[in-house]
Structure 1
Amino acid sequence: MTSSTVTTVFLPITVAVIMLGLGLSLTVADFARVARHPRAAAVALACQILLLPALCLGLVLLFDLEPVLAVGMMLLAASPGGTTANIFSHLARGDVALNITLTAINSVLAVVTLPIVVNLAVAGFLGDSATLGLQAGKMLQVVAIVLVPVAIGMFVRHRFTAFAERMQRPVKIASIVVLVAVIAVAIFQERANILGFVEDVGLATLLLCVLSLAIGYTVPRLLRVSHPQSIAASFEIGIHNATLAITIALSPALLNNSQMAIPAAVYGVVMFVPAGALCYFFAHSRGRATLASSQTGSDTSATAPSERNTR
């Protein structure tokens, strides 16, 4: 995947717009909400920070990926969730409030965890290279990409609440339009190499998404987290911010390596298949469960008068 004006200039702007839109939807209460759902948040964050990098490392070794692609996979696994996870969770009838909380906390934690994972991957697969990785100076640029737009959005929401609420939808639509346009141009520019990219990392990225979604739901359920909260965790853990990963990989001031962007670029396309299928399953299974419970409730209400009369 080659660098161009589209990927090196417009892609970071797209990330900034997306993060600004996220900030417009956040309040301090979203961060405080974790205190009301400590188990769900703690389990999801542990899966995101600990299990996912380990899972991704296993896939990298299983598929024996080239070192640069291996680093790109680890970068993808370390990237936080994004607004797409919130959308899928909403459609699947998950706890969207928890999604927003996890997205907010993950975005903050990623400033520390993402450089750690990337630097370890660079050292492990490419050797300890001072020209790659995300050292202290480069971490400040990650902060600028991730946190500054979110902070601006939150400030605008706090000071101009009505304006922020009016702007949420237009900013979200604008970010989607710009993102689709940038990806479309990038795909067009790489049309001759797309099949090669899919052949290199297609199955690995697909498995990463499928297994991440499964872990995100199964582990919380095993630890007695509610069904809606587990759905939220599943999409938050299973859907990574591929746009952020591509931006970090391609940015001349950060990793400046086009090959490292390939896993995130392929993932950004293939992840819609398992995520969409799981969303459909959750939405329809939840609907059947609701119908069954309503029928049971009707039966109970029908027998209630006779029970009261016998008393």
Structure 2
Amino acid sequence: MTAAELVGKVFLPLSLAIIMLGMGMTLVPADFTRIIKYPKAILLGLTNQLLFLPLIGFALAIIFELNPVTAIGLMILASCPGGPTSNLITQVCKGNIALSVTLTAIASFVSILTIPFILSYALAYFGSTTDIAIKLPIMDTIIQIMGITVIPISIGMFIRRRRTEFAKRMERPMRIASTVIFILVFIAVLAANSEKLVEGMKEAGLVTLILNLATMGLGYMTAKLFKLNLKNVISITIESGIQNGTLAFVIATSILNNIEMGIPTGAYSIWMFITGGFLMWYFGKRSDVDAK
């Protein structure tokens, strides 16, 4: 097994499972019932994440005439809605953390079904123009996604319920560990495939930047259109534009066994941390957000 295969098939799925376990330790059943309290905001956020994000990604892949592998890689990213990173950024931006966590939690579970559906269509549409044989085993994909997302989250929630104080004490260490693990594995993936990185950035750099700005802009405009308060606007904006890059990497490298399909996620991760950092600086220093 090569270094790239070891990182993609072992360390990357393991890192995602650890991150999801940490997120599960921050969740309680009430996080999934907040749809009653924030029905308009929840519905809007999920629509942006699960419907408009893949549609925008698909449109950009066609407009930019991406090669099949890059196009499918972009669709992998677009099918993976917000992960734990969005919750952290929302917290720093003084957004509605409860809304952010609820959107992340619900989208994580719903995406078990939407990801195979979206990718099956993308593989059929873009894969038809290439000699590369890529197939998505739907049931295996669902099982693998459950194994690295739903099961760790459920275990984390069980720990939170049975050992509440321990879970609360572990929130900050797990958040830090999750970030460090993601960064280390992300660097390892890029290092193991450094020769393809420059070419990949040329191919996917601009389109992933536009995808990030477009989805964040859509989140902001739709939240304003539906007259949500500022805290909810911040949460919807971030949840719409910060995707679960770790899950996208796992799908590309471990499930579809194609490192090149992970390049768009690598480029997007760079952009979303830059734009997310700007939002943290902009909203973090605004005193009026606290009053909303």
Q: Return the TM-score normalized by structure 2.
A: 0.93
Q: For structure 1, which segment, 6-15 or 119-128, has the greater mean C-alpha deviation from structure 2 after superposition?
A: 119-128
Q: For structure 1, which segment, 232-241 or 269-278, has the greater mean C-alpha deviation from structure 2 after superposition?
A: 269-278
Equivalent residue for 2:163?
160
Q: Distance in 2 between matches of 1:278 and 1:84?
A: 13
Specify the code of the residue in structure 2 equivalent to 1:144.
Answer: G
Specify the code of the residue in structure 1 equivalent to 2:101.
Answer: I
Specify the code of the residue in structure 1 equivalent to 2:71.
Answer: A
Task: Work out the number of aligned pairs and report it.
Answer: 287
Equivalent residue for 2:70?
69
> Over residues 176-214 of structure 1, what are the superposed CA-to-partner deviations in whole Å (9 max), with x where a residue is unaligned?
222221122222223333221110100111111111111
Equivalent residue for 2:283?
282
The offset of 1:281, in angstroms, is 2.6
Given the superposition, is the C-alpha separation of residues 55 and 6 from structure 1 closer, same or farther in structure 2, using an over 3 Å criterion? same
> Runs of 5+ in structure 2 lacking a partner?
none
Specify the code of the residue in structure 2 equivalent to 1:50.
Answer: L
The offset of 1:3, in angstroms, is 3.4
Equivalent residue for 2:230?
227
The offset of 1:268, in angstroms, is 1.4
Q: Say what the alpha-carbon RMSD is for the aligned residues.
A: 1.9
Q: Distance in 2 between matches of 1:39 and 1:114?
A: 24
The offset of 1:134, in angstroms, is 4.1
Equivalent residue for 2:172?
169
Secondary structure of the corresponding residue to residue 195 of structure 2? coil
Equivalent residue for 1:306?
none
Equivalent residue for 2:274?
273
The offset of 1:137, in angstroms, is 2.9
> Runs of 5+ in structure 1 lacking a partner?
294-311
Q: Distance in 1 between matches of 2:45 and 2:24?
A: 21
Q: Distance in 2 between matches of 1:280 and 1:192?
A: 34
Q: Establish whether residue 247 from structure 1 lines up as the match of residue 250 from structure 2.
A: yes
Q: For structure 1, which segment, 83-92 or 178-187, has the greater mean C-alpha deviation from structure 2 after superposition?
A: 178-187
Q: Distance in 1 between matches of 2:56 and 2:216?
A: 12
Equivalent residue for 2:149?
146
Specify the code of the residue in structure 2 equivalent to 1:47.
Answer: N
> Over residues 11-51 of structure 1, what are the superposed CA-to-partner deviations in whole Å (9 max), with x where a residue is unaligned?
11100000000000000000011110000000111111111
Given the superposition, is the C-alpha separation of residues 169 and 58 from structure 1 closer, same or farther in structure 2, using an over 3 Å criterion? same
Q: Distance in 2 between matches of 1:226 and 1:263?
A: 33
The offset of 1:246, in angstroms, is 0.5
> Over residues 89-114 of structure 1, what are the superposed CA-to-partner deviations in whole Å (9 max), with x where a residue is unaligned?
11211111110111100101110111
Equivalent residue for 2:37?
36
Q: Distance in 1 between matches of 2:248 and 2:187?
A: 17
Q: Distance in 2 between matches of 1:119 and 1:193?
A: 25
CA contact (8 A) 2:18 2:178 kept: yes
Q: Distance in 1 between matches of 2:231 and 2:261?
A: 35
CA contact (8 A) 2:64 2:207 kept: yes
> Over residues 215-252 of structure 1, what are the superposed CA-to-partner deviations in whole Å (9 max), with x where a residue is unaligned?
1111021012221111101111100011110111111x
Q: Establish whether residue 203 from structure 1 lines up as the match of residue 206 from structure 2.
A: yes
Q: Distance in 1 between matches of 2:245 and 2:133?
A: 25
Larger Rg, first or second structure (1 or 2): 1
Q: Return the TM-score normalized by structure 1.
A: 0.87
Secondary structure of the corresponding residue to residue 271 of structure 1? helix
The offset of 1:279, in angstroms, is 3.0
Equivalent residue for 1:309?
none
Q: Distance in 2 between matches of 1:242 and 1:14?
A: 12
Q: Establish whether residue 78 from structure 1 lines up as the match of residue 89 from structure 2.
A: no
CA contact (8 A) 2:25 2:171 kept: yes
Specify the code of the residue in structure 2 equivalent to 1:242.
Answer: G
> Over residues 48-76 of structure 1, what are the superposed CA-to-partner deviations in whole Å (9 max), with x where a residue is unaligned?
11111111111111111001111110110
Given the superposition, is the C-alpha separation of residues 186 and 39 from structure 1 closer, same or farther in structure 2, using an over 3 Å criterion? same
> Over residues 262-290 of structure 1, what are the superposed CA-to-partner deviations in whole Å (9 max), with x where a residue is unaligned?
11122112221222223323334x32x46
Identity within the alignment, %? 37
